[in-house]
């Protein structure tokens, strides 16, 4: 899988590429990532990449010309001819739709992803019209540029590629995970896999040694050896954490009657259209 990042700050990514899982994926040839300085595609002695907005207003706008020339030089398929099953071009922008785990998983199925890092007050709108397949944002706030969102998207996507993580199921059974392949409730007891975020819930709490730390002990069920009880506890703990930190996720989550009863005991009321 290949990533091309169009930016005015290519050195921003040097440390991003040099650490952790991403570095290992790039070193082992499981993915490749290339940065391209938009200033190399300008034609004036000042290497100007921005200009004043038509109609007036504050700030500057990232020009379309360097971006279009960079795309042409990189051999990026024209938008009208692009196969969305193989390739996509994304603008990182505060105006984009929110980047999510399902989007990361969709992107991980592609062969090439081009990321355009927005900057200043925004990017000439014709870039979206002529070149981009979608605009993405990492949250409901404004950053000074698209480099950090591009790095986040890159990390979230690359870790989903086969062979990148140590265990083949590591990127499946976690927060925001999809439903189990065999369905949410694939046991006679109706308890999902013990390590599964299950249909978009947050992951359950994790503990490791020592069993008692500063007077705080781990939940006894985790050392009891009853695997079904552990699975039940983890499911309930995931529900509790989701209700506490991201209650809106519960409205779309796949929930059993047992789940709903547990949430009701916590005092959490689901909207009627989610029942």
pLDDT of residue 28: 96
> With 50 as the cut, is the pLDDT of residue 183 above it?
no
pLDDT of residue 192: 61
**Could you report the per-residue pLDDT of 17-67, keeping only the tens digit for each?**
999 999 999 999 999 999 999 999 999 999 999 999 999 988 999 999 999
Instruction: Calculate what percentage of the chain has a pLDDT beyond 70.
Output: 86
pLDDT of residue 182: 40
**Could you report the per-residue pLDDT of 216-264, keeping only the tens digit for each?**
999 999 999 999 999 999 999 999 999 999 999 999 888 999 999 999 9
| Residue 35 half-sphere exposure toward CB, CA atoms < 13 A | 19
pLDDT of residue 196: 46
- Report the distance separating Cα 118 and Cα 93, nearest Å: 6
pTM: 0.85
Q: What is the DSSP letter of 191?
A: P
SS3 per residue for 164-212: CCCCCCCCCCCCCCCCCCCCCCCCCCCCCCCCCCCCCCCCCCCCCCCCE
pLDDT of residue 160: 96
> With 70 as the cut, is the pLDDT of residue 13 above it?
yes
> With 70 as the cut, is the pLDDT of residue 205 above it?
yes
- Report the distance separating Cα 78 and Cα 118, nearest Å: 20
pLDDT of residue 168: 55
pLDDT of residue 199: 66
186 vs 156, residue with greater confidence: 156
Mean pLDDT of 206-219: 95
- Report the distance separating Cα 207 and Cα 252, nearest Å: 28
Walk me through the domains of the chain, giving residue ranges and CATH numbers. 2-158 (3.40.1280.10), 179-275 (1.10.1270.20)
> With 60 as the cut, is the pLDDT of residue 71 above it?
yes
Q: Could you check whether the bond before residue 210 is cis, i.e. omega within 30 degrees of 0?
A: yes
pLDDT of residue 166: 67
pLDDT of residue 171: 53
| pLDDT tier at 181, thresholds 50, 70, 90 | very low
- Report the distance separating Cα 62 and Cα 49, nearest Å: 6
Q: Where are the alpha helices (DSSP H) in 93-207?
A: 101-107, 126-130, 147-158
- Report the distance separating Cα 226 and Cα 223, nearest Å: 8
DSSP string for residues in 28-58: TTS-EEEEEEGGGG--STT---EEPPTT--S
**Could you report the per-residue pLDDT of 95-121, keeping only the tens digit for each?**
999 999 999 999 999 999 999 999 989
| Residue 271 half-sphere exposure toward CB, CA atoms < 13 A | 9
- Give the residue from 195, 157, 152 showing the smallest Cα distance to 174: 195
Lowest-confidence pick of 75-84, 188-197, 263-272? 188-197
> With 60 as the cut, is the pLDDT of residue 194 above it?
no
- Report the distance separating Cα 116 and Cα 147, nearest Å: 9
Q: What is the dihedral of CA 122, 81, 138, 119, to 10 degrees?
A: -20
- Give the residue from 129, 80, 134 showing the smallest Cα distance to 107: 134
């Amino acid at each position: 899988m290949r990533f091309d990042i169009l930016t005015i700050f290519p050195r921003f990514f040097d440390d991003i590429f040099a650490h952790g899982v991403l570095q290992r994926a790039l070193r082992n040839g499981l993915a490749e990532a290339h940065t391209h300085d938009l200033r190399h595609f300008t034609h004036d002695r000042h290497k100007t990449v921005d200009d004043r907005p038509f109609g007036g207003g504050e700030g500057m706008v990232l020009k379309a010309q360097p971006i279009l020339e960079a795309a042409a030089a990189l051999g990026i398929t024209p938008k009208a001819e692009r196969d969305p099953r193989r390739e996509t071009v994304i603008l990182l922008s505060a105006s984009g739709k929110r980047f999510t785990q399902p989007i990361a998983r969709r992107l991980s199925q592609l062969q090439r992803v081009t990321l355009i890092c927005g900057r200043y007050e925004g990017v000439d709108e014709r870039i979206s019209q002529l070149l981009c397949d979608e605009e993405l944002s990492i949250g409901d706030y404004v950053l000074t540029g698209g480099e950090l969102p591009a790095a986040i998207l890159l990390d979230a996507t690359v870790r989903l590629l086969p062979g990148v993580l140590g265990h083949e199921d590591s990127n499946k059974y976690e927060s925001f995970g999809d439903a189990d392949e065999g369905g949410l409730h694939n046991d006679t007891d109706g308890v999902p896999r013990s390590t599964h975020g299950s249909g978009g819930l947050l992951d359950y709490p994790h503990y490791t040694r020592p069993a008692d730390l500063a007077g705080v002990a781990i939940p006894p069920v985790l050392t009891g050896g009853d695997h079904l009880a552990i699975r039940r506890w983890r499911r309930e703990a995931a529900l509790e954490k989701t209700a506490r930190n991201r209650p809106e996720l519960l409205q779309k989550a796949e929930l059993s009657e047992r789940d709903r009863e547990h949430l009701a005991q916590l005092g959490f009321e689901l909207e009627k259209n989610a029942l």
